[in-house]
Amino acid sequence: MPKTILAANWKMHGSKKMLKEYFRDFLNYSSELSSNAFDKVETVFALPTIYLPFAQDIVQTLPIKLAAQNIHQNEKGAFTGEISADMLLDLNINRTLIGHSERRQYFGDTDAIIAAKVKLCTEKNIKIIACCGETLSERESGKTQDVVERQCMAILDACQEVSLLTIAYEPVWAIGTGKTATAGQAQEVHAFIRKLLDKKFGPQALEIPILYGGSVKAANFKELMQQEDINGGLVGGASLDPQEFSQLLKIAVTVQV
């Protein structure tokens, strides 16, 4: 059984002031949860890299994991503005998102580049939440499975250590649009991804969590979490509100399929 993961993706949002206030409020809102809530649901915050050390100071005594949103595929070199895997490890951060659709869309992350990042992370023992998902036109032209398969196989073929891998299915048309995939639409793709994982890795694949992302909020998360192959969420907009995000945590803790 894969573990349940609730991951926040703050994208390019936040400030030192916000971080301080956010975690104070998030803990207050989460105080009614049972003490083992964070054992039941791995709670991850993918923050702007520049704030990770500051966030570490704030969350050091909390059962919260921090992650980057991206790393560069090369170990080091003349790549102005980029962050390496070793730099992340140097900060004692061993998690990152890889291949988010905004990276694919705006920063030229191709399947080959994403594969190189996944490979590097698995060599360096960095845990990965690797993203995939189709655009609206791809869905409308019946290409969802083809796209998801192509993106996933690039990730799976590059992954050298299954225990480091989490997949996030994020239909691009649902990201930041307020349009969520229905629980049925999401489950259908998650079941398809589960099959790809099975085919590639056999029984080990059963441990790989598959998260859903795309306009997740408290109002739609319960139904999504009730689906057999949905093991958690990757949350953008709603993760910026500590009250809403603690609601999501509550749902993830209570809905164990």
Catalytic residue annotation: 100, 170
Length of the chain equals 257
Q: Which of 27, 25, 47 is nearest to 38 (CA)?
A: 27
Least Å distance, CB 174 to ligand PGA, is 6
Write down the residue that tokens 């639409």 correspond to: 185
Least Å distance, CB 240 to ligand PGA, is 9
CA 22 to chain centre: 20
- Assess 237 for contact with ligand PGA (CB under 6 A): yes
Site for ligand PGA in 198-227 (CB under 6 A): 213-216
Report helix, strand or coil for 187.
helix
- Assess 111 for contact with ligand PGA (CB under 6 A): no
Nearer to ligand PGA by C-beta: 215 or 227?
215
- Assess 176 for contact with ligand PGA (CB under 6 A): yes
Nearer to ligand PGA by C-beta: 34 or 243?
243
Q: Is 218 exposed, middle or buried (0-12, 13-18, 19+ CB in 10 A)?
A: middle
Q: Measured at CB, which residue is nearest to ligand PGA?
A: 236
Answer yes or no: are the C-beta atoms of 168 and 212 closer than 8 Å: yes
Q: For the chain, how are helix, strand and coil distributed in percent, rounded to 5?
A: 50, 15, 35
Least Å distance, CB 173 to ligand PGA, is 10
Q: Which of 42, 109, 170, 229 binds ligand PGA (CB under 6 A)?
A: 170
Q: Which residues would be at the binding site for ligand PGA (CB under 6 A)?
A: 9, 170, 175-176, 213-216, 234-238
